[in-house]
Structure 1
Amino acid sequence: MTIFVHEAGPHDADAVVLLHAVGTTGWMWERQVTALKSDLRVLVPDLPGHGRSAAVAWESIGGTAALVAELIAARAPSGRAHVVGLSLGGYVAATLAATAPRRGGERDRERGERAAVPQPGPVTPHGRPHGPCHEVGGRCCGPTPARSTSPTPTWTAT
């Protein structure tokens, strides 16, 4: 089973992949898609276990990075893409950069170069660093959040 991908922008333009945070979906990038789609091919997947990819079981950050690599190979015009991620999406993007062969040119391919990105430290299955945490539903959800007096933003999915 494959993951759901929202696509926007010209089919032959340079591609950008936007990877969402844990507990949300690709809709969180709605404003960025609107701003970028006139110049770039924008690919916005729902990661495994999220949104329209909920039926695809979450396995690991590495497994998800492999799915994103397959997505780029199949749907980006040149098989290359800029990758942007937030939270979980950032861990997936960093893992992808650290493990996927660079596609910067013939010289890179001959040497089998890979991007030089530090590996993230130990993380929970949700992509959060291990450490002091607060509990939600009996599981660690990351550092205890600071109290804020600002209003909580509201979002609408379309």
Structure 2
Amino acid sequence: MKIGITFKLFLFVLLACAAVVVVQGAAIRFVMERGFLGYLNQQSRIRMEEVVPRLGEAYDVRGSWDFLRSDFREWVDLVLPFLREAGRDPAPRLASSDQTGALARMGLLDEKMRRVVGNPDIDASSFRIPIVVEGRTVGWVAMVPFEGGAAEE
């Protein structure tokens, strides 16, 4: 049985299309991992920077992180930025949306890099920002990065 030119041409075009699809898929994956997920991690880092001053003040007032070990609600109150309108306390609303899931991926490490509260997956390898009180690092706000994203330290 002899293979005709039409069939050979069809196979060539089919293989060329398959190669284009594979290359395009690899390029999209690369762009998503380095671009979009990196952007989301950057937005999460901005969210962490907003929390650092509030945690520093809370540590300064209480002198340790023990109050957070025993009261998860206190942690939530410190990391969720609420806006309350004057005279209208019953319905607080979030100051900004958290579409990156940063608050669920965030946690607190003490000065010895031990988890205090927050996401159970945080550790010394998570990207983090130091909490400095009176010139001394008393803890770290840490976050589990999106998978494949460029973690910053």
Normalising by structure 1, report the TM-score.
Answer: 0.24
Richer in helix (by share)? 2
